[in-house]
Amino acid sequence: MERLDAFMARANTAYYAAQDPFADFTTAPEISQVFGELLGLWAAMQWQAMGAPSPVILAEAGPGRGTLMADALRAIRRMVPDFAAALQLHLVENSPRLRTVQAAKLPGAIWHDTLDTLPRGPLLLLANEFLDALPIRQFVRRGSGWAERYVADGAFTEQPAAALDRAADDGEVVEVDEVAITLTTALAERIAAQGGAALFIDYGPATSAPGDSLQALRGGTAANPLADPGSADLTAHVDFAALAQAARSVGAAVHGPLPQGLFLARLGLFQRTGALARTQQPATASRLLESAKRLAEPDQMGRLFKVLAVCHPALPLPAGFSE
């Protein structure tokens, strides 16, 4: 018997070490180069608002194939060369396999297993679809008390749990993103003390609500999350409200969560895509425009995906978060 978070940690470590995740799912930076470009320029704007410190750490958590950061760096070099000259690139990635893929695209980067070993100093951090892969705990309301979910022989089993301060009806599941909350709290403390800003993009509701969001994707289709650990990507919705509260409680400023579509549109997704499309053949141009819509349309990735910024309290409201 294994507690759900231990099971999920073991399954995902095995999965990312051995499988090509991008055979099972796709992500925003793989859909359009404009996604990484806009995030790179967002980081450059925060750097300018911070007073252009040099050196500065530009970090990404869970860089996947390195596509987001490669697109970000290309845009930064072209538009804000002073930032390109000042930045030191650090990647937080625990899959040796994906580190090899990232190294081919991002020469000169320094890798870390966790955010804790990033060097001291002002930090700009980007993370797309990183938090959803972190282990969660699940509790079930049983009468006037609570039980916690464990995994045994490919099925859930329950153990009595301590009282939990969450609203739920009898039999309902609530999720606690313990690892993500711990990580966000430490990051927010660091940003409040040493300066910087972090941008998290992931999927989940804007306010905490009961519900079992654990899911497995294998070959692009939903699979049983408890079967064959390591053969499928396990994710859960990110509890942005809990992360925002955790970051604020240690003195960071928090902006969002905001729907991804609104954020990207404000940063110029459609203008940049249009400019790029005009330089391309018609087939490529229409593919680019379709990709932008996929990222921004509410019924595609535009609403379910949210953007949350954790910033030093002295920084002005970051780009994309103002009207």
Span interacting with ligand SAH, options 86-94, 215-223, 236-244, 290-298, rule CB under 6 A: 86-94
Residue with Cβ nearer ligand SAH (29 or 195): 29
Residue 94 contacts ligand SAH per CB under 6 A: yes
The only residue of 4, 7, 27, 175 in contact with ligand SAH, by rule CB under 6 A? 27
- Cβ 106 to ligand SAH, closest distance in Å? 12
Is residue 63 close enough to count as binding ligand SAH by CB under 6 A?
yes
Give the chain's length.
Answer: 323
Per-residue burial over 90-124, b = 16 or more CB atoms within 10 Å of its CB, e = otherwise: bbbbebeebeebbeeebeebebbeebeebeeebbb
Spell out the alpha helix ranges (H) of the chain: 4-18, 28-31, 33-49, 67-79, 81-86, 96-105, 178-194, 240-249, 260-267, 269-277, 282-296
Q: Any contact of residue 68 with ligand SAH (CB under 6 A)?
A: yes
Q: Can you tell me which residue has the tokens 């845009």?
A: 75
Among 4, 8, 12, 264, contact with ligand SAH (rule: CB under 6 A): 12
Nearest distance from residue 20's CB to ligand SAH, in Å? Answer: 11
Written as six digits, the tokens of 94 are 């625990």
DSSP helix/strand/coil, 196:
strand
Cis peptide leading into residue 55 (ω within 30°): yes
Q: Rule CB under 6 A: is residue 16 a binding residue for ligand SAH? A: yes
Among residues 129 and 175, whose Cβ is nearest to ligand SAH? Answer: 129
288: left (phi > 0), else alpha (psi -120 to 50), else beta? Answer: alpha
Taking contact as CB under 6 A, which single stretch among the options 37-45, 60-68, 289-297, 298-306 is the one that binds ligand SAH? 60-68
- The reply on whether position 30 binds ligand SAH by CB under 6 A is yes
Minimum separation from the CB atom of position 113 to ligand SAH (A): 7
- Name the segment binding ligand SAH (CB under 6 A); options: 23-31, 146-154, 170-178, 248-256: 23-31
Q: For the chain, first and last CA: distance in Å?
A: 50
Q: Closest separation between CB of residue 318 and ligand SAH, Å?
A: 20
Determine how many CB atoms are found less than 10 A away from the CB of residue 294: 15
CB–CB of 253/312 below 8 Å?
yes
Contact 280, 292 (CB under 8 A): no
Q: Which stretch binds ligand SAH (CB under 6 A): 91-99, 162-170, 216-224, 264-272?
A: 91-99
- Considering only residues 128-187, where is the footprint of ligand SAH by CB under 6 A? 128-130, 133-134
Binding part of the chain for ligand SAH, among 62-70, 238-246, 300-308, 315-323 by CB under 6 A, reads 62-70
Q: How far apart are CA 275 and CA 252, in angstroms?
A: 36
Binding site for ligand SAH (CB under 6 A): 12, 16, 21, 27, 29-30, 62-64, 68, 92-95, 98, 128-130, 133-134
